[in-house]
């Protein structure tokens, strides 16, 4: 095998490299033109073609985003790969056989729609390619560039970028040994929310055949009115007119700083009268239900049968919210009154909701209870609602607990990622997973994702309202049936 494999794409040849394991890697391939200049705040445009083989042996630029403060609580827990440059609408491909016809998996990264990239080392697709999958990771527009909207022009540019990447996969992946007729899109957190939105978007129909949503479901969208509230405040912070044209004139570092300040203001005063829908989850930039590109809230459209032809796997981690409470020390500042107020705000029965969670967790602190309730409100129940709405959906739970922060971090948000990618040896994840994470959990989870992408069957029965079956991944993985039924039943008001 040549050490410099070349593949012909619709826009020109790309030259990759071969790893020591024999996997072929192609990095930084543009799937759309740079979203700058006349392309700023416009739908993704095709990239310019090239004549000589394009070097694809290094990751390309990433979407503009704020750096993680080196002295902040998440410095060691938020692996980042930030590369400056305009051509950041690019993707990366890992494959074992250019002449094959393997299942394709396309990963959409998370990061609250304001951070992340497809070039984080933990998303390396070597193990997926080794095990018979062509793996693709992508970048897309973040923050204001991806999700700012004042009601005019085209909204949801970040989602349109994802659709452009999936279109590139459909048109080009056969040259990399992938089957364009067997594509699974999967994502984590904001990436999972994106996947559930894509499932219901008319312009994405037919571009993928299976979908996996990790720690995100079909409830995270905002209205046009909320988008305008966010946009108007961002413009005020920048001292410019509330238009995309005016914001496009602002230097990118200043825009990123204003986005960060905006998020801090929302967190400090999460009032619906100030922020509309984003007061619920504190994310100022999210998919917008504009009525056309995203015709309605994804969970409602899925319940109406949209996307029924796509097979779905969805799940959550047992203690998602601990990522946001433990590193900051906020868990120790929570009082019983805060727990009670949060339970009511989230829709639990006023008296017996928090009481049931407390009774089921003898010795739990108020912070522990808030974490459990918030995890279920924002992650677990929405995942079950989607499974109930989409017949044939498979459900999982990731329950292995991290040893970090004195064993307090638990099975928190994003902890499943190194297990899904079978990249436990990636040093960037060491602060998360410790020095001796259980390989058997990665073996089981990685295989389930590949099996689902190959056949639609991850290895356990689908979830139904009559048989609430899920797979719990832990040191000893096992199937559960209607786990925590008493707590699930409390959430009858959660749509």
CATH classification of the domain holding 174: 3.40.50.1820
Q: Give the neighbor-by-neighbor strand order of the sheet with 90-95.
A: 17-18, 24-30, 90-95, 134-138, 102-108, 178-188, 210-214, 311-317, 394-398, 469-473, 478-481
Question: Do 240 and 373 sit in the same domain of this protein?
Answer: no
**Position 3 pLDDT exceeds 90:** no
Instruction: Tell me, yes or no, whether 141 and 168 share the same domain.
Output: yes
| Structural domain span for residue 421 | 322-489
Measured at the alpha carbon of residue 442, what is the angle toward residues 174 and 432, in degrees to the nearest 5? 110
* pLDDT cut 90: percent of the chain above it: 91
Q: Catalytic pick from 219, 394, 413, 446? A: 413
Q: How far apart (Å, rounded) are the C-alpha atoms in residues 221 and 297?
A: 7
**Beta bridge partner(s), residue 480:** 470
Catalytic-labelled residue, pool 189, 220, 318, 402? 189
pLDDT band at 351 (very low <50, low <70, confident <90, very high): confident
Q: Are residues 228 and 213 in the same domain?
A: no
pLDDT of residue 68: 73
User: What are the DSSP E strand ranges found in 37-87?
Assistant: 54-55
With a CB cutoff of 8 Å and minimum separation 6, the contacts of 431 are 76, 77, 404
CA distances, 364 to each of 160, 276, 359, 372 (Å)? 44, 33, 9, 10
- Contact in structure between 474 and 400 (CB atoms under 8 Å): yes
The pLDDT of residue 77 = 73
* 19 given a catalytic annotation: no
Model confidence at 482: pLDDT above 90: yes
In which band, very low, low, confident or very high, does the pLDDT at 180 lie, cut at 50, 70 and 90? very high
Judge whether 187 lies within some domain: yes
**pTM: predicted TM-score of the whole model, two decimal places:** 0.97
Answer whether residue 495 is part of any domain: no
Same domain for 360 and 244?
no
Active-site residue flag, 413 = yes
**pLDDT tens digits for range 259-310:** 999 999 999 999 999 999 999 889 999 999 999 999 999 999 999 999 999 9
Residues 303 and 327 in one domain: no
pLDDT band per the 50, 70, 90 thresholds, residue 21: confident
284: in domain: no
Asked if the structure places residue 315 within a domain, the reply is no
Q: Given a cut of 60, is residue 1 above it in pLDDT?
A: no
Is residue 209 among the annotated active site residues? no
User: Does residue 427 lie within any of the structural domains?
Assistant: yes
Are 34 and 164 in the same domain? yes
Residues 239 and 331 in one domain: no
Would 1 be classed as within a structural domain? no
Q: Assess whether 397 and 353 both reside in one domain.
A: yes
Question: 187, 191, 179: which is closest to 103 by C-alpha?
Answer: 179
CA 307 from centroid of its chain's CA atoms:
19
Q: How far apart (Å, rounded) are the C-alpha atoms in residues 197 and 192?
A: 9
pLDDT digits (tens, 9 = 90+) for 427-453: 889 889 998 999 999 999 999 999 999
Q: State the pLDDT at residue 494.
A: 59
pLDDT tens for each residue of 216-269: 999 999 999 999 999 999 999 999 999 999 999 999 999 999 999 999 999 999
Write down the pLDDT at residue 367. 97
Residue 150 is assigned to a structural domain of this protein: yes
Question: Do residue 124 and residue 271 come from a single domain?
Answer: no
Instruction: Note the pLDDT of residue 94.
Output: 98
- Which pLDDT score, from 0 to 100, does residue 36 have? 96
What is the percent of the chain with per-residue pLDDT over 70, rounded to a whole number?
Answer: 97
| pLDDT above 90: residue 98 | yes
- 200 and 63 belong to one structural domain: yes
Give the model's pLDDT for residue 397: 98
Same domain for 191 and 99:
yes
Q: What is the mean pLDDT of residues 101-124?
A: 96
Mean pLDDT of 13-30: 94
Query: What per-residue confidence (pLDDT) applies to 492?
Result: 85
At how many degrees (to 10) do helices 366-375 and 352-359 cross? 110
Q: Based on the domain organization, do 247 and 176 belong to the same domain?
A: no
Mean pLDDT score of the chain = 95
Residues 6+ apart with CB under 8 A from 40: 145, 244, 248
The predicted-structure confidence for 130-161, as pLDDT tens digits, reads as follows 999 999 999 999 999 999 999 999 999 999 99
> Could you report the per-residue pLDDT of 44-75, keeping only the tens digit for each?
999 999 999 999 999 999 999 988 766 666 76
Number of domains present in the structure of the chain:
3
In a domain, 232, yes or no: yes
């Amino acid at each position: 095998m040549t050490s410099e494999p070349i593949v012909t794409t619709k826009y020109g040849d790309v030259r990759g490299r071969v790893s020591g394991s024999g996997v072929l890697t192609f990095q930084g391939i543009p799937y759309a033109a740079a979203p700058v200049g006349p392309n700023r705040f416009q739908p993704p445009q095709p990239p310019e073609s090239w004549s000589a083989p394009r070097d694809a042996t290094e990751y390309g630029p990433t979407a503009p985003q704020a750096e993680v403060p080196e002295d902040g609580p998440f410095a060691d827990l938020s692996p980042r790969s930030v590369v400056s440059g305009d051509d950041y609408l690019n993707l990366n491909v890992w494959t074992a056989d250019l002449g094959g016809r393997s299942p394709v998996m396309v990963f959409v990264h998370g990061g609250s729609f304001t951070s992340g990239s497809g070039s984080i080392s933990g998303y390396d697709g070597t193990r997926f390619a080794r095990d018979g999958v062509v793996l693709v990771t992508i970048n897309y527009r973040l923050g204001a560039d991806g999700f700012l909207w004042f009601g005019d022009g085209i909204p949801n540019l970040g989602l349109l970028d994802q659709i452009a990447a999936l279109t590139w996969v459909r048109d080009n992946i056969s040259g990399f040994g992938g089957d364009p007729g067997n594509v699974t899109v999967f994502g984590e957190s904001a990436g999972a929310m994106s996947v559930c939105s894509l499932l219901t978007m008319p312009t994405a129909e037919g571009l993928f055949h299976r979908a996996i949503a990790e720690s995100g479901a079909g409830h995270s969208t905002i209205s046009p009115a909320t988008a305008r509230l966010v946009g108007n405040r961002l413009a005020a912070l920048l001292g410019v007119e509330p238009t995309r044209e005016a914001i496009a004139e602002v230097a990118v570092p200043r825009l990123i700083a204003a986005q960060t300040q905006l998020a801090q203001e929302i967190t400090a005063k999460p009032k619906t009268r100030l922020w509309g829908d984003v007061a619920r989850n504190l994310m100022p930039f999210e998919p917008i239900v504009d009525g056309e590109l995203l015709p309605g809230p994804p969970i409602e459209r899925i319940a109406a049968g949209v996307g029924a032809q796509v097979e779905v796997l969805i799940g959550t981690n047992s203690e998602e919210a601990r990522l946001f409470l433990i590193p900051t020390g906020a868990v120790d500042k929570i009082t019983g009154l805060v727990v009670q107020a949060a339970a009511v705000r989230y829709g639990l029965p006023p008296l017996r909701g928090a009481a049931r969670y407390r009774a089921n967790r003898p010795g739990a602190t108020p912070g522990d209870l808030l974490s459990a309730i918030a995890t279920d409100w924002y992650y677990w129940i929405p995942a079950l609602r989607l499974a109930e709405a989409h017949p044939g959906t498979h459900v999982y739970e990731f329950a292995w607990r991290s040893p970090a922060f004195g064993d307090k971090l638990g099975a928190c948000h994003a902890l499943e990622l190194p297990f899904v990618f079978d990249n436990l040896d990636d040093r960037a994840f060491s602060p998360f997973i410790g020095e001796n994470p259980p390989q058997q959990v990665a073996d089981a989870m990685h295989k389930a994702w590949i099996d689902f992408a190959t056949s639609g069957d991850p290895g356990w029965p689908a979830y139904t309202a009559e048989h609430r079956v899920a797979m719990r991944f832990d040191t000893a993985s096992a199937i559960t049936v209607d786990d925590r039924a008493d707590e699930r039943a409390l959430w009858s008001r959660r749509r």
